[in-house]
Structure 1
Amino acid sequence: MAFTCTIPAVPTVQQDDDVVRITRWDFAPGAVTGWHRHGWSYFVVMLTDGVLRIHNGTDVTETALTAGQSYGRKPGVEHDVMNGSDHPIAFVEIELKQPDRL
């Protein structure tokens, strides 16, 4: 259900409280997050241009994104994310634990 890879993406938690968790993710070429499930709604903001390769357990998709571009997803998403670019990429992930308290 996940990519085969020995290079882990590097998460750096910037804030984690009762309301929100903000994590910067840095990926070498081919690095992966590992299979995981999102328990909260979340947003991703790209810090660099890059290609995200997403494995959802059945299919693999690729999406080219540019620095500053963002997207959001509802809770329950299960996937593994890989840097499909030939260069390092990074994004910030913002998970909303209690969106009504923001």
Structure 2
Amino acid sequence: MRQTLEEEIASGAFLVHAVEQMQGNMMTRPQASSQEQINNDQVIVTRWDFPPGAETGWHRHAHDYVIVPIHDGVMLLETSDGHREVTLQAGVCYNRLEGTEHNVINNSETPFSFVEVELK
């Protein structure tokens, strides 16, 4: 789910986007698609679908979260500490903490999907 301008400014994502624009590094890859499936007092559940080469764009997570891969795939994670490749295995979950900032890119030749469960 995309943040509003006010949310981007409050989270600091606006600054990241401004720096990227100044450096000429705005997204040139296809956009991954997301479908929010649940949003209640406890969780936000979103399915993400990535065609080959697609990316989320830089973002900061406002909650702790769990990723549940639906398909195998290879992600390239761009972070402020550098880039790293991560292999997804269908059904093998992992978690990250609130404040994680990155851009997620499908570095596979095939599409992949995962479900993100944010814990409020």
Task: Show structure 1 runs of 5+ residues with no match.
Answer: 98-102
Higher mean displacement: 2-11 or 44-53: 2-11
Q: How much has 1:17 moved relative to structure 2?
A: 1.3
Match of 1:24 in 2: 47
The one-letter code matched in structure 2 to 1:78 is: E
Q: Is the 8 A contact 1:42 1:94 kept in 2?
A: yes
Match of 1:84 in 2: 107
The one-letter code matched in structure 2 to 1:31 is: A
Distance in structure 1 (CA, Å) of the matches to 2:42 and 2:36: 14
User: Cα deviation per residue 1:31-74 (whole Å; 9 max; x = unaligned)?
Assistant: 00111000100000100000011000341100112111110011
TM-score, L = length of structure 1: 0.89
The structure whose Rg is larger is: 2
- Higher percent of residues as strand: 1
**Number of residue pairs matched?**
97
TM-score, L = length of structure 2: 0.76
- Higher percent of residues as helix: 2
Distance in structure 1 (CA, Å) of the matches to 2:54 and 2:29: 8
Distance in structure 1 (CA, Å) of the matches to 2:42 and 2:87: 30
Q: Is the 8 A contact 1:29 1:86 kept in 2?
A: yes
Q: Is the 8 A contact 2:75 2:88 kept in 1?
A: yes
Match of 1:96 in 2: 119
For the residue of structure 1 that corresponds to 2:65, the secondary structure is strand
Q: How much has 1:3 moved relative to structure 2?
A: 7.4
Which structure exhibits the higher relative contact order, with contacts defined as CA atoms closer than 8 Å and separated by 6 or more residues?
1
**CA RMSD of superposed structures (Å):** 1.5
Q: Is the 8 A contact 1:25 1:90 kept in 2?
A: yes
